[in-house]
Amino acid sequence: MVTTASVTLFKNEFVAALSDGRRIERHGWREMAHALFSAGVQDKGVAYDWRSGQRMITAGQQVALKAEMRRLAHTAGNHMVAA
């Protein structure tokens, strides 16, 4: 089963609700990317939510988070081949 995540920005913290019921909170987009990758979420499994009263995640933050997740996946793939 593929794990997906819905990410919001609440009080300057990135908050991800995972499809398996877990919840991850991180201060920066890079830390959130690492946490999601470690939890088994792929970049294509990330969606962004916005609700009234919350700050909107900027397009730049969205792109940066997914790019970091792709970089982590690529790096992990290269380490597996080299092992």
The alpha-carbon radius of gyration of the chain (Å, integer) is: 13
Q: What is the mean pLDDT of the chain?
A: 91
Residue 23: which domain range? 3-82
Average pLDDT over residues 6-30: 95
Q: How many domains does the chain have?
A: 1
Angle (nearest 5°) at CA 1 between 41 and 62 = 25
* Comparison of pLDDT for 77 and 10, the residue scoring more: 10
Place of tokens 């997914």: 66
Helix or strand or coil: residue 4?
A: strand
When pLDDT is cut at 50, 70 and 90, the band that residue 51 belongs to is confident
pTM over 0.85: yes
Q: What does the pLDDT read at residue 79?
A: 62
